[in-house]
Amino acid sequence: MSKKDKTLKGIKTPSRRKFFKAAAATGAAAAATIAMPNVAFGAPKTLKMQAAWPSGANIFFEMAGDYAKMVSDMSGGELKIDLQPVGAVVKTSEIGQAVSTGVLDMGHWVTAYWYGKNPAASLFGTGPSYGMSSQEVMGWIEYGGGRKLYEETLAKVGFDYVGYFHMPMPAQPFGWFKKNVTKVSDVKGMKYRTVGLATNVLTAMGMVVRQLPGGEIQPAMKTGLIDAAEFNNPTSDSQFGMQDVSKHYHLGSFHQSQEMFEICINKKTLGGLDPKHQAILKNAAGAANTDNYFKALVRYSADLSKLMNEHKVNVYQTSDEILAQQLKGWDKVIADFSGKDPFFKKIINSQKTYAKRVMKYLLMNQPNYKLAYEHEFGGIGKVKI
């Protein structure tokens, strides 16, 4: 035996069985590595969003949180929204500019809050009805040419963001009064709180309108700064404590017969995201749109019941006389603004074209739901809930 053979004899070599077993394990590990998707294990991308609503017991802030949760869930936690309440970074009136300049990544508010920059802003939420509810106005925005006009309006006021809409709000109540008002003469000269183009509509009716933030409405009515007010819905109104300063609540009004939330996102921030995250931000708004509307119907009706039964609030449907005068107010406002601003008129004409066709179908096709309700439960004004 040579010296070389003796050296080799002293070395332990693996058996063929062990060799192939090890090779198989190595191959399986390699296959698992190839099959595993490319997952980013870094910190999630976080966007700062300020809402126009206070935290705590506020259903609008809760709905903003619903949207933020959907974004996180849809992205598997890769994209998160740091939701901040009203005033956390900037004033409500400054949200649009803050998002445009990147001070905030996102905002959650309504277009009526930037009505002061251009009255056309109100047409993307709190505009004339033409028979449309919030859902139909959103249909006009997405399928009737409204989005292009909305983007033109953003450019006119200098906002550099992308906007998504969600939560088609039910018609807003005429609001809280010190007595049951049924005639136009009952409200003339009355000091009243609202926002957006509704200020012009109700001024045309002879009311003295003041624009106040939501949190100031109840104290203003308590001190007599205003005689009557509206905010949005039975849940929000009761959270503000309106039942403590008034026992007369009038539902259903054309001053703001439709509205929806606007989610604004800084263009540069949005463009810098992964395409799938961009899609999530957009599509989560669609998901929140449906979810928030269903939640609103349940919560608003339950809180209306509490207002009536626990707080002894008298609830009325706004009279046809007042509603008819509101429509005349809209006629005047639309004529005034359209005469001064061709772009405003362009938006109005687009809405009218859409409403004339779509609402003819919808109104002719809808059965009389009130008839069916009263067939089962009796006169709507007398039903206890």
Is 36 a member of any domain?
A: no
Model pLDDT, residue 246: 94
State pLDDT tens for residues 246-289: 999 999 999 999 999 999 999 999 999 999 999 999 999 999 99
Cβ 172 vs Cβ 259: under 8 Å: yes
Is 242 a member of any domain?
A: yes
Model pLDDT, residue 196: 83
Are residues 334 and 318 part of one domain? yes
Identify the H or E element spanning 176.
Answer: strand 175-177
Model pLDDT, residue 18: 46
Model pLDDT, residue 43: 77
**CA–CA distance, 116 with 3 (Å, rounded to integer):** 99
DSSP conformational letter for 261 = E
Is 225 a member of any domain?
A: yes
Are residues 333 and 197 part of one domain? yes
Are residues 132 and 106 part of one domain? yes
Cα radius of gyration (the chain): 29
Are residues 200 and 267 part of one domain? no
Distances (CA, A) of 318 to 176, 194, 303: 11, 16, 19
**pLDDT beneath 70: ranges in the chain:** 1-42
Are residues 272 and 247 part of one domain? no
Is 139 a member of any domain?
A: yes
Are residues 275 and 137 part of one domain? yes
Identify the H or E element spanning 98.
Answer: helix 95-101
Dihedral sign for Cα atoms in the order 93, 208, 345, 355: positive
Residue 183 domain boundaries: 172-255+313-340
Which residues are paired to 263 by β-bridges? 108, 164
Is 291 a member of any domain?
A: yes
Cβ 226 vs Cβ 246: under 8 Å: no
Distances (CA, A) of 251 to 10, 237, 275: 97, 12, 43
Is 304 a member of any domain?
A: no
Which residues are paired to 314 by β-bridges? 248
Residues 6+ apart with CB under 8 A from 260: 110, 125, 134, 137, 138, 165, 166, 167, 168, 169
**CA–CA distance, 38 with 106 (Å, rounded to integer):** 28
Burial class for 267, CB neighbours closer than 10 Å (0-12, 13-18, 19+): middle
Cβ 312 vs Cβ 247: under 8 Å: yes
Are residues 235 and 97 part of one domain? no
Cβ 69 vs Cβ 93: under 8 Å: no
**CA–CA distance, 127 with 19 (Å, rounded to integer):** 78
What DSSP letter does each residue of 271-296 carry, written as one string? HTS-HHHHHHHHHHHHHHHHHHHHHH
Is 17 a member of any domain?
A: no
Model pLDDT, residue 293: 96
Cβ 74 vs Cβ 85: under 8 Å: no
Model pLDDT, residue 216: 86
- Residues of the chain with pLDDT > 70, as a percent, come to 89
**CA–CA distance, 360 with 11 (Å, rounded to integer):** 93
- The total number of structural domains that make up the chain: 2
Amino acid at 16: R
Are residues 280 and 177 part of one domain? no
Dihedral sign for Cα atoms in the order 205, 206, 207, 210: positive
335: domain CATH number? 3.40.190.10
Is 167 a member of any domain?
A: yes
Cβ 351 vs Cβ 129: under 8 Å: no
What DSSP letter does each residue of 76-88 carry, written as one string? TTSEEEEEE-TTS
